Structure 1
Amino acid sequence: MTNFPFRIVGFDLDGTLVDSALDLCPAVNVALRAEGRPEVSLDVTRGLIGGGARRMLERALEVTGGPVHGARFEQLVGVLLEHYTANIAKGTVPYPGCLAALDDLAARGVLLAVVTNKAEDLALKLLAELGLTHRFASIVGGDTLGRERAKPAPDLIHETVGRCGGGSFAMVGDSTFDVLAARNAGMPVVALSFGYHDVPPAELGADLLIDHFDQLVGALQALG
């Protein structure tokens, strides 16, 4: 181990480690078409992501004509997930500088973790298809502990710290789900000015805001 200030760094997945909108957008539109709704653009989809697939679909329905409830909504979730699961890594890529930053942190003895509201099975599948699984000491999803304990609750962060054997932790993310989860867990958090924001980046309330993964290691050092 080096004297790096954090033993564990946790990352959100969609909009933080990877740009997955190119695969999420077609899946959302398959569900919207099934309901007779207009499709949404890639740019609109980026604003819908956050909180998991169900929340993303809820937002998509809201902006294309209003909510759908009950059994029909569950059917549409199934339509979305079936398409997405079959096409999960066709366009998704890590953000520029992401892999180099992960390598830098790993070389400093930092344990890397994924803390996402994406369903755990989908997170595992996506990371495997991108060849990234081996980089992470822990991968937890929004349903790992039950949906009521997903971000912004602190539970996934506490679970991650426990799986990694304890120690100092910092969170990296792009949305209020990530920042509030870190705050609720009493942990520092770095936010990205890129990604999928539910509020303007400057309003996320993170300890530090960075514009590129090249700045991540320095930001974490500054927080320490």
Structure 2
Amino acid sequence: MQNATLVFDLDGTLVDTAPDLVAATNHALADLGLPPIPAETLRHTIGFGARRMIVEGLNQTGRTLPEPEIDRLLSLFLAYYEPNIARESRPFDGAVTALERFRAEGARLAVCTNKRLALAERLLGELGIDGLFAAIAGRDSFPVYKPHPDHVRGAVAMAKGDIKSAIMIGDTGIDIAAARAAGIPVIGCTFGYAEEPMDVLAPDAVISHYSELETAVRTLLTKAASAPTD
């Protein structure tokens, strides 16, 4: 693990943020007098950001609004979400133990998320796990963001890692596409918020619990080390 850089998505990969994101969405929609949208209805939109969650909530109630009104609802969402960002959000079972083990073995850990940097830092800080990461790269850390490969490459560089020994861990097609474009292996998490099943997204490895991550990482690192070089 000494030279490995592990790049983690945040929402749906490291942390189950759905309860607080759904609460913020329903808070914004309540301004229109709309009923709460069930969490399961919105989970698959989380990887696409707050605006998409709001639009999906509107779709579920048969409403369409002009962009300025959606912007207003997004402002309501963010005003509610930031102070309530870790009310119910928690790291997935086994995640912290796995991160601590990887760090102890010399791996560099990074977060690469399409969440805004300030929100990502606040969430990780309130959960007490921000110190585990050598780098946190948010949606606004670079001119581009996932699925653009430079978001992933930038996170690796921020962590002072080597892209040749980097692995992405994520839960959606956005993460898998970003890793593929960056030319690194990717591990898919079945417990996240993907719109499609992992067998369709076809990452290099799949885990259903963090207890499986170390084996998956070691297998991919071994495979990468034995691959022929040009």
Q: TM-score, normalised by structure 1?
A: 0.93
Q: 1: CA distance between counterparts of 2:22 and 2:211?
A: 28
How many residue pairs match? The answer is 219
Q: 2: CA distance between counterparts of 1:223 and 1:66?
A: 46
2:216 maps to a residue whose letter is A
Deviations 1:123-178 (A, max 9, x none): 011011111110000001112224xx111111211111211223121000100010
- Counting only pairs closer than 5 Å after superposition, residues 68-79 of structure 1 correspond to structure 2 as 68-79=65-76
SS at structure 1 position matched to 2:47: coil
1:176–1:51: structure 2 CA closer, same or farther, 3 Å change rule? same
SS at structure 2 position matched to 1:38: coil
SS at structure 2 position matched to 1:113: strand
| 2:6 alignment partner in structure 1 | 9
2:91 maps to a residue whose letter is P
1:192 aligned to 2:189? yes
| 2:39 alignment partner in structure 1 | 42
Q: 1: CA distance between counterparts of 2:64 and 2:179?
A: 30
1:199–1:100: structure 2 CA closer, same or farther, 3 Å change rule? same
1:178–1:29: structure 2 CA closer, same or farther, 3 Å change rule? same
| 2:140 alignment partner in structure 1 | 143
- Counting only pairs closer than 5 Å after superposition, residues 40-189 of structure 1 correspond to structure 2 as 40-146=37-143, 149-167=144-162, 168-189=165-186
- What's the Cα RMSD here? 1.4
Structure 1 stretches lacking a partner, 5+ long? none
Q: 1: CA distance between counterparts of 2:142 and 2:57?
A: 26
| Residue 5 (structure 1) shift | 7.6
Q: 2: CA distance between counterparts of 1:204 and 1:95?
A: 21
2:74 maps to a residue whose letter is V
Check whether the contact 1:113–1:138 (CA below 8 A) recurs between aligned residues: yes
Q: TM-score, normalised by structure 2?
A: 0.90
Check whether the contact 1:53–1:118 (CA below 8 A) recurs between aligned residues: no
Deviations 1:93-123 (A, max 9, x none): 1111101110111111001111001111100
Check whether the contact 2:2–2:105 (CA below 8 A) recurs between aligned residues: no
Q: 1: CA distance between counterparts of 2:47 and 2:149?
A: 16
Runs of 4+ displaced beyond 6 Å: none
1:178–1:67: structure 2 CA closer, same or farther, 3 Å change rule? farther
Deviations 1:60-103 (A, max 9, x none): 22333244232111100000111111211110111111011101
2:166 maps to a residue whose letter is F
Check whether the contact 2:7–2:156 (CA below 8 A) recurs between aligned residues: no
2:53 maps to a residue whose letter is M
Q: 1: CA distance between counterparts of 2:173 and 2:7?
A: 15
Q: 2: CA distance between counterparts of 1:200 and 1:18?
A: 19
| Residue 32 (structure 1) shift | 1.3
1:39 maps to a residue whose letter is P
| Residue 198 (structure 1) shift | 1.5
Q: 1: CA distance between counterparts of 2:44 and 2:158?
A: 32
| Residue 6 (structure 1) shift | 5.3
> Which sits farther off after the overlay, 60-69 or 29-38?
60-69
